[in-house]
Structure 1
Amino acid sequence: MSQVHSLWKTASGLPVVGGVVGKRAFSIAFSQKAPYFASIHPRFTIIEPNHVELVIPKRRSVQNHIGTVHAIALCNGLEAAMGALAEVTIPKDKRWIPKGMEVAYTAKATSDITCVAETDQVQWDTADGDLAVRVKGVRDDGTVVIEGEIRLWVTPKSK
């Protein structure tokens, strides 16, 4: 189990506070690892191999000039979800780095946005180079507002 997955299980499983406070504490700690993530105030809700979800709260600091969640805030949320997914899914003998992102903005982001990152385990087990992580952002009413993929470069760890 990776450090990220272990921390998530510990924080979200704490008696009394695990459901809310533990997840929030994890989200803050994760954002400190890559401080730019803190700009969107992510709230992780699900972290498991091959599937991660987090919520970007719709607040003034992430809005654009028309009052919707800004496109780059959405991309930041997708990248945070992908990063957590990569950390909890990648085999111990491999490493990863982001290589590129391609997204389409499909609707206005007028509410909190749930960012989802997904892969299939076989992608990681057979990865030697490119690996595509499926990502999407969903409004409270279920409408997909952004979708695409983040490409990773996955290679064996140096010995």
Structure 2
Amino acid sequence: MTDNYLLRLYKKCLKYPGGRWLFSTMFARKAPYFATIKPRIQVLEPNFCQLTFKKRKAVQNHIGTVHAIAVCNGMEMAMGAVAEASIPKHLRWLPKGMNVEYLAKTTSDVTIEAKASEQTWHPGDQLIEVVARRADDTVVAKGHITIYVSNKK
């Protein structure tokens, strides 16, 4: 088993009924705005996170599709989970910027994936890839979130 606190918690939660919901709820409490989309982390492992959230009135815009900012909120949460689950203990990270292209209307539930690599976890500006898809697998948004990685003091 890994020594990463977040991966340990995720694996522990998965042993219980509703474990993904429980873990996702606890993680979203770290940054309460994440909870507004009612996300569910489906997969969490080093350098990869997949989360989903449902299309519902609270995340829709004036034309009845999922609001772009709700999608970005999910992207940021997935990135944060990847960073916390992957970064070596001697490093820390801070979000620095987000670059997103909106490619299609989000007319259904949403699946978001965030990906990093072993090369991400070195001091300096690093990119984490984020992609959002609707239920028919159409990419609705993609981009990257820049994080600044530095040594802990």
Where on the TM-score scale, by shorter chain, does this alignment land: which range? over 0.9
Partner of 1:134: 129
Distance 1:31 1:119 in 2: 20
Alignment size in residue pairs: 151
RMSD of aligned alpha carbons: 0.8
Letter in 2 for 1:87: E
Which contiguous aligned blocks of 4+ residues in structure 1 show a shift greater than 2 angstroms?
Answer: none
Structure 1: 5+ residue stretches without partners: none
Distance 1:43 1:88 in 2: 16
Match of 2:38 among 31, 38, 41: 41
Q: Is 1:70–2:67 an aligned residue pair?
A: yes
Post-superposition offset of 1:143:
0.3
Match of 1:110 among 94, 107, 110: 107
Distance 2:110 2:10 in 1: 21
Post-superposition offset of 1:2:
2.3
Q: Deviations over 1:16-58 (max 9, x none)?
A: x1xxx01101111111111000000001100000100000210
Q: Residue 36 of structure 2: SS of its match in structure 1?
A: helix
Letter in 1 for 2:150: T
Q: Deviations over 1:112-135 (max 9, x none)?
A: 1101100111221xx211010000
Letter in 1 for 2:151: P
Post-superposition offset of 1:136:
0.7
Letter in 2 for 1:117: A
Post-superposition offset of 1:77:
0.1
Letter in 2 for 1:134: E
Q: Deviations over 1:91-132 (max 9, x none)?
A: 1100000000000000000011101100111221xx211010
Partner of 2:152: 157
Partner of 1:10: 12
Q: Is 1:27–2:24 an aligned residue pair?
A: yes
Distance 2:150 2:21 in 1: 32
- Identity in percent: 49
